[in-house]
Structure 1
């Protein structure tokens, strides 16, 4: 593995999101002095927090999987995630509600889920689920350490026995067809393939290897951090500060001072100059390219994942059939992905993620009140409506979204709302997210693994990238790994990710309870 040559005693990390904080902790654990520069007033990045009246609102991800990856970062400085954050295992991980009125609780315990599938779709599908679970676990095992938790210097590194193992498992087939080998019920197939949207690819075109995301969601387990997802980066920043990291809050990097191929200092918009031996850019990829004076040449222009409209709503009522996370599927499926990724139109029959964090954390809302987070995928601004058009489109879409929620059983939703915040591609673009998408560069084959923008920057001897735009990709688990991989480029280290408990003992998970 190539690593930064020369002195690396003092490292400046630009960005205090999950990847930057993970990188900082791993660097501190390796004996480096670290300064973290963040343009916002506090940590989190995409996993931020806003106060909405009396409500505490997570502005980014709401689903936490693979928490052992966060714990690795804490462990680097002799700390632990459990010491800093209380995690609640979610049972069910999700509740799936379908247009035909049926619903399915998605458990991560093998026996509980098999029983639920049997109730929902019969014994043949239950047996298919058991085989699917085994396949997902094998797929994860074939990919994690070789293709996800790995720094690539060349595509030649793909030539390894694990590649043959992945091919033998069908990882290079199409996701929907591989899921269909195990499950014939169309509703169940959606539950195990909707995750392709996280990668920015429709299930019909996504590689089956992306089912590893379904493994994380439906086998490894889903957790909720008390205090909200923002509690994780907040705790990471506290641990880094306790381990000696310096922080510059509300500080924007304006330039990198370069000499003989190396960055010698980071300059802030305030005029402050921070001398350093190496730099990690964990900011948005397009922002990193601006600081570097341009993006590296690629044969094909980078494409970005679909975006999302999010409605944060605090109100005086909730609905008992909502779990902590509820997937509300429309009738349409293939057409939905066509609209999101190709035609660039809003979903005509939307599939939605509804999160109710006050299910397990009522302190996020005033007494007797409830907080709901409704995520509706939408096209990014490259293939769909422009960012500016969302200025007028947003309020109209909000009203249609609320009407759809009421049609799907959340009667009285509109009247219940006391505080709300609507986030659209206009807002994502204003935050600097390319194509108005918070999900960064998509995971088409040509933008995956060694073909994704690399974390070592050609022509810059001591600059490393971290975050969802580089290796290994989008999602909370992968950006945590990204921070570790960036640190390894500087220290020359290579810590392996520990296998989550479900890999070591996937058939002995306890039976899940109710929402």
Structure 2
């Protein structure tokens, strides 16, 4: 039996209007609860931020949108249809992978087209291997979804069952790097199917093979673009919630939770308002700062951070894809630099210190290639994500990097790398820009200065990650977001909102996400 909040739960306050908080709010409202969402920002979105200036609309948070069925399922909780709230465009080319040797590979949502690209670049043997691997990814995802991802877990015993045995037999607890290497001989394909480990905050040389399923979401099951940008997704959820009766308090920070005995009885905002509460969903990055008595079970390990450069440029930049993974020549060295012990990297002092990538691999998104509403005529918007160390030395980060001075220089370096790799003319055409560094992430309240939260080490995964209903703290406080189960990424935090709501309402009839035969998620 899944543990749930005891006692009355008629009035619920949700702290945070990011995707996790919105997901929880819609589920709770659909189950008949009176719901109020408190958000310190001026509108919904959380990490999915937006800068609008001079006709450019820059998404400053996530740039890759997968598993739209999860958003559809959330909207359905209040009787809404996805098609009435969002227009989604499937990307024929989900990624373009550019390699240091000058070659490139277009990753297609259609497996036949993808296999043809691989055969042309890597040979027929690798094309056959690709088809086998895509089938393996889909099967692995189906195996893990209901048992390890789409459910509340309170103890490791919750995992016991035939699915765990199958995962062990499939080598799911081996290393991701070795799992991929067994399938492919071409180093380019090995990189393509293992770089996603960084989304989970770990090197593919440390990540367990079960994390291969991350590639299923953005390579196997496809990528979409929401018209209006990623920020359109939280706006759609918030609009549906408001229409269903969810109350929103924007521009209000939670000062503290009022506790009587073992329960929170009210939420106090910084403007003096008291919101009565029978239950509270805390969907913030550091719940330990807000929730009395809540502490994590062990010293946390955080994911690497990033520098994110978002620009609006008056340039056509022809020939570029919507999403591009630009690989440098270095590979294992990249992960060493981001997370390894500083003594091995010449860092001196003996403390764990990461450093800036000397040969960066970058994720570049140009959504205006698909959606012209995001930029003026003749312009483009780009988001460039360059992984960096976080600020926590225990996690291999480096708090001594002076990002005030380093940030502008690194911004220039990233743009110079892009120019050299084919985005010619970008730097001189920039009209609008927004840059985030580990220090700006920290100023926004993100632990260790990383937007990617807790790393998915073995000890911070599944039942070992903080559950949505913690055993420490008030009995009627539930958690949601990337710091708790199931983890990091847009699909995962949307799921976490549903799991948090179910800690209050109990599992709903037919709850959960069904899987198609191809491994994609479906309503």
In structure 2, what is the Cα distance between the partners aligned to 1:435 and 1:331?
Answer: 28
Report the counterpart of residue 322 of structure 2 in structure 1.
324
Q: How does 1:265-304 map to 2 (within 5 A)?
A: 265-284=266-285, 286=286, 288-293=287-292, 295-298=294-297, 300-304=298-302
- Structure 2 gap ranges (5+): 343-353
Report the counterpart of residue 350 of structure 1 in structure 2.
360
State the secondary structure of the residue aligned to 1:64.
coil
Report the counterpart of residue 307 of structure 1 in structure 2.
305
Q: How does 1:254-265 map to 2 (within 5 A)?
A: 254-265=255-266
Report the counterpart of residue 118 of structure 1 in structure 2.
119
User: Aligned residues, how many?
Assistant: 503
In structure 1, what is the Cα distance between the partners aligned to 2:182 and 2:197?
Answer: 17
CA contact (8 A) 1:85 1:232 kept: yes
Rate the CA distance shift 1:504–1:196 in 2: closer, same or farther, 3 A: closer
1:362 aligns with 2:372: yes
| RMSD of aligned residue pairs (Cα, Å) | 1.5
Report the counterpart of residue 502 of structure 1 in structure 2.
518
1:465 aligns with 2:464: no
Report the counterpart of residue 513 of structure 1 in structure 2.
none
Report the counterpart of residue 403 of structure 2 in structure 1.
390
Tell me how far 1:120 sits from its aligned partner.
Answer: 1.1
Report the counterpart of residue 371 of structure 1 in structure 2.
381
Structure 1 window deviating more from structure 2 (409-418 vs 209-218): it is 409-418
1:339 aligns with 2:337: yes
CA contact (8 A) 2:95 2:108 kept: yes
In structure 2, what is the Cα distance between the partners aligned to 1:374 and 1:74?
Answer: 30
Tell me how far 1:54 sits from its aligned partner.
Answer: 2.4
In structure 2, what is the Cα distance between the partners aligned to 1:464 and 1:90?
Answer: 36
In structure 2, what is the Cα distance between the partners aligned to 1:459 and 1:39?
Answer: 23
Rate the CA distance shift 1:184–1:439 in 2: closer, same or farther, 3 A: same
Tell me how far 1:211 sits from its aligned partner.
Answer: 0.7
In structure 1, what is the Cα distance between the partners aligned to 2:517 and 2:416?
Answer: 42
Tell me how far 1:329 sits from its aligned partner.
Answer: 0.3
Report the counterpart of residue 239 of structure 1 in structure 2.
240
Deviations 1:322-341 (A, max 9, x none): 10001100000000011112
Deviations 1:335-375 (A, max 9, x none): 00111122401001000011101111112112211111111
1:479 aligns with 2:493: yes
Rate the CA distance shift 1:443–1:46 in 2: closer, same or farther, 3 A: same
In structure 2, what is the Cα distance between the partners aligned to 1:9 and 1:451?
Answer: 30
Tell me how far 1:190 sits from its aligned partner.
Answer: 0.8
Deviations 1:357-407 (A, max 9, x none): 111111211221111111111110113443871000001111111111122
CA contact (8 A) 1:66 1:500 kept: no
CA contact (8 A) 1:52 1:420 kept: no
In structure 2, what is the Cα distance between the partners aligned to 1:390 and 1:24?
Answer: 36
Rate the CA distance shift 1:115–1:99 in 2: closer, same or farther, 3 A: same
Deviations 1:70-111 (A, max 9, x none): 111001111022210000001100000000000000112211
Q: How does 1:446-465 map to 2 (within 5 A)?
A: 446-457=459-470, 458-465=472-479
In structure 2, what is the Cα distance between the partners aligned to 1:505 and 1:376?
Answer: 29
Report the counterpart of residue 390 of structure 2 in structure 1.
380
1:410 aligns with 2:423: yes
Report the counterpart of residue 208 of structure 1 in structure 2.
209
Report the counterpart of residue 175 of structure 1 in structure 2.
176
CA contact (8 A) 1:315 1:419 kept: yes
CA contact (8 A) 1:48 1:60 kept: yes
Deviations 1:127-182 (A, max 9, x none): 10011011101110110011100101211111111101111111111111111111
Report the counterpart of residue 492 of structure 1 in structure 2.
506
Deviations 1:307-334 (A, max 9, x none): 1101111112133231000110000000
State the secondary structure of the residue aligned to 1:502.
coil
Rate the CA distance shift 1:387–1:479 in 2: closer, same or farther, 3 A: farther
Q: TM-score, normalised by structure 2?
A: 0.94
Rate the CA distance shift 1:346–1:295 in 2: closer, same or farther, 3 A: farther
In structure 1, what is the Cα distance between the partners aligned to 2:165 and 2:135?
Answer: 18
Aligned equivalent of 2:446, options 405, 416, 433: 433
State the secondary structure of the residue aligned to 1:113.
helix
CA contact (8 A) 1:220 1:501 kept: no
CA contact (8 A) 1:11 1:277 kept: yes
Report the counterpart of residue 511 of structure 1 in structure 2.
none
1:194 aligns with 2:207: no
CA contact (8 A) 1:364 1:371 kept: yes
State the secondary structure of the residue aligned to 1:112.
helix
Q: TM-score, normalised by structure 1?
A: 0.95
Tell me how far 1:412 sits from its aligned partner.
Answer: 2.0
In structure 2, what is the Cα distance between the partners aligned to 1:40 and 1:57?
Answer: 17
Rate the CA distance shift 1:435–1:321 in 2: closer, same or farther, 3 A: same
In structure 1, what is the Cα distance between the partners aligned to 2:374 and 2:222?
Answer: 23
State the secondary structure of the residue aligned to 2:496.
helix
CA contact (8 A) 1:68 1:500 kept: no
Tell me how far 1:297 sits from its aligned partner.
Answer: 4.7
- Structure 1 gap ranges (5+): 507-515
